Chain A
Amino acid sequence: MSSMTKKRVLPSGARFMSGDIACAEGAIAAGCRFFAGYPITPATEIAEHLSARMPEFGGIYIQMEDEIASLVAVIGASYAGLKAMTATSGPGFSLMQENIGLAAMTEAPCVIVDIMRGGPSTGQPTLPGQQDVMQAKWGSHGDYSIIALSPSSVQEMFNLTIEAFNMAETYRVPALVMGDEIVAHMWEKVVIPPASEIRIVNRKKPHDSRDKYEPFMPDDDLVPPMACFGEGYRFHATGLTHDEYGYPRTQSSEVQSKLVRRLCEKVSRNEDKIIRVEKVMLEDADVAVVAYGIVARAALSAVRKAREAGIKAGLLRLITLWPFPEKHVAAVTNQVKTIVVPEMNCGQMVREVERAAKETPVAFLSKLGEDPHTPNEILKVIKGNI
């Protein structure tokens, strides 16, 4: 199956496509060779597109019986050596939570796309939401770390899906693309770079010989090199608390402490390499809007309108949601008088912003159940807090 690589990355140039399709194409460009999923609005088009595209170059598409099976099959494929992904929306994301923990515990590189719709429960399948962003960080039981990215455009559905694969492979974590119904269903121009310019990262392979390999012995960056099934290493992995050999050590507080702290710290210690934000007109700003996803587009427009009205407003757009860009938010809050946080939920990332903002007042603008905030709605809050 390795010879079938004819039509991998789309030819470079500008194209018009939906966010879901851009996400699927980004996955392919990143080297994804395995997709398992279950139909769910508004993420179904990712599966549909990959069911057609994957076979063109020897990749695997399988529709599983539910989202639990989908993520677990992805973890299996990852251990068998393929870059693997699933895509879903809120209800499916909830079903995946236990096995996000399994992927974190067994350090299986994988990408999970969650196209957020209105929740809770079945909620509003065809409308956008940002209600899963805390679940992305805390959804599975226990302490662990993941990386979550937030695309604001169809172009970013392409770019950040590639980035998610690179991060998953670098840190051996589940990397989440937290899109929303609008960025997924919207059609926009996407510029596909030449394949040679797309940065692709592959997991570290073992440095040691087969008899010396300890599958969960980390390097200095806290990430263990990864052998794959069938390569002759004959190693074991388990969701139980395990030592460097992968053997269960469920009675040892020392092993538990060392393992779980490493799982968290391999991301937190590399925050500076992972975190990405976009800063717009913040240099002299008195008021800053902190936003992410589709809402950041309206926020940008509101900031421009505020500037036209003589208000020194700026935008801090969170591209990385987790690990939370705390230093960036803190730096902004040291400078501005007020922070405005618009979100399509009842108040999730605003809690993190408040924590980082310390004394600086934070105005929260919640929106649920319809279109996202308009620029004027955000502008009104900017004006009201200056």
Chain B
Amino acid sequence: MVQEMVHPFSKYLRSAMIPHIWCSGCGNGVVLNSFVHALDELQMDLDKLVVVSGIGCIGRSAGYTNADSFHTTHGRAIPFATGVKLANPELEVVVISGDGDLFAIGGNHFIHAARRNIGIKVICANNFNYGMTGGQQGPTTPLESLTTTTPYGNIEHPFNLVHLAAASGATYVARWTTLHVRRLTQSIKRMLQKEGFCFIEVVTPCPEIFGRHNKMRTGLEMMEWFKRSSVVENFSDPSKAEITPERIVVGEFVNVQKVSYEKFFHEKLAQINEKAVEW
């Protein structure tokens, strides 16, 4: 008798939602895979996990994870996660979304959530463009890159996401590429065990939509770029952590202790409540 084979990680995924929508060569699966490995290694209670995504290719991650999950409007994953975390601080609230979603339309929410130090964990798959809508220029598109809306080369300076996160007050900031699977997984584990606002950028190949315009037609070519150019510089100055054709600075940049918004809030509540008198 043939026994049914069940993948040891299938319990972390919603089989009804799979197959996923991602193109061949896309790195989003690596991001989700690392996330799921981290959940497994930490033996996370899936009943207490909430995954929130915005709009975009990686935004489907919430639906693929077998936990409570919500797929918000474009750019609004962070304020939704903020509401969830404050309402029930016992929940582990993870945002998995893209560079356009988190840093263009949702950029204001990102910096304020980091400033408040609300205890949500944000994973950004940075693929340098708007993949789902067919490859337009975005807030992380490198200078001179070709996209469907920068046919003469991009003239906008991209955000340095780890610098932005560090400057905004995040307690944990890291960047990896999808080549650094083990380090990424360890980083996600570290982040899930930390208090306060945490951020990991994952530089992700998008050969079908971004790479094809920029002389990297296959996932392998994009991964070769990551391999050739990545340098691990842990705890180096995030303002100097560049992403260029020649150099992708990866590593952990920030790992500090700071009381989270929700902990601060609930400590205050306890003090206020002690003083509160019955009418």
Q: Which residues of A contact B (CB under 8 A)?
A: 1, 4, 6-7, 10-11, 33-34, 36, 55-58, 60, 62, 64-66, 68-70, 72-82, 84, 98-99, 101-102, 106, 229-240, 245, 247-248
Decide if A7 touches B278 in the complex (CB within 8 Å).
yes
Nearest first, the 6 closest Cβ-Cβ pairs linking A and B are A76-B83, A73-B83, A80-B87, A238-B71, A69-B79, A77-B87
B contact residues around A247 at 8 Å (CB):
16-17, 63
Decide if A79 touches B73 in the complex (CB within 8 Å).
no
Q: Which residues of B contact A (CB under 8 A)?
A: 14, 16-17, 46-48, 50, 52, 62-63, 66-73, 76, 78-84, 86-88, 90-91, 108-109, 112, 265-266, 268-269, 272-273, 276-279
Instruction: Kindly list 18 other residue pairs between chains A and B, CB separation below 8 angstroms, not including A64-B82, A238-B63.
Output: A4-B269, A4-B276, A7-B278, A11-B279, A57-B276, A62-B86, A73-B80, A77-B86, A79-B70, A79-B83, A80-B83, A81-B87, A99-B76, A230-B47, A234-B67, A236-B14, A236-B71, A240-B71
Q: List 6 A-B contacts (CB under 8 A).
A: A72-B79, A80-B88, A81-B88, A230-B47, A235-B69, A247-B17
B contact residues around A237 at 8 Å (CB):
69-71
Chief secondary structure at chain B's binding surface:
helix
Decide if B72 touches A239 in the complex (CB within 8 Å).
yes
Decide if B17 touches A64 in the complex (CB within 8 Å).
no
Q: CB-nearest residue of chain A relative to B60? A: A248
A contact residues around B47 at 8 Å (CB):
230-232, 234
Decide if A75 touches B80 in the complex (CB within 8 Å).
yes
B contact residues around A57 at 8 Å (CB):
273, 276
Decide if A56 touches B272 in the complex (CB within 8 Å).
yes
A contact residues around B278 at 8 Å (CB):
6-7
Decide if A77 touches B48 in the complex (CB within 8 Å).
no
Residue among B48, B72, B79, B86 with most chain A CB within 10 A = B79
Decide if B84 touches A79 in the complex (CB within 8 Å).
yes
Decide if B273 touches A56 in the complex (CB within 8 Å).
yes
Known: A98-B73, A234-B67, A240-B71. A76 touches B279 (CB 8 A): no
Query: In the complex, A233 Cα to B50 Cα: how many Å?
Result: 11
A contact residues around B67 at 8 Å (CB):
234
Decide if A1 touches B50 in the complex (CB within 8 Å).
no
Q: CB-nearest residue of chain A relative to B80? A: A76
Decide if B86 touches A230 in the complex (CB within 8 Å).
no
A contact residues around B112 at 8 Å (CB):
64-65, 69
B contact residues around A245 at 8 Å (CB):
16
A contact residues around B71 at 8 Å (CB):
236-240, 248
Decide if B84 touches A239 in the complex (CB within 8 Å).
no
Query: In the complex, A245 Cα to B63 Cα: how many Å?
Result: 11
Q: CB-nearest residue of chain A relative to B262? A: A60
Q: CB-nearest residue of chain B relative to A64? A: B79
Known: A72-B73, A77-B86. A56 touches B276 (CB 8 A): yes
B contact residues around A84 at 8 Å (CB):
83, 87
Residue among B62, B72, B90 with most chain A CB within 10 A = B72
B87–chain A nearest beta-carbon distance, Å: 4
Residue among B16, B73, B87 with most chain A CB within 10 A = B87
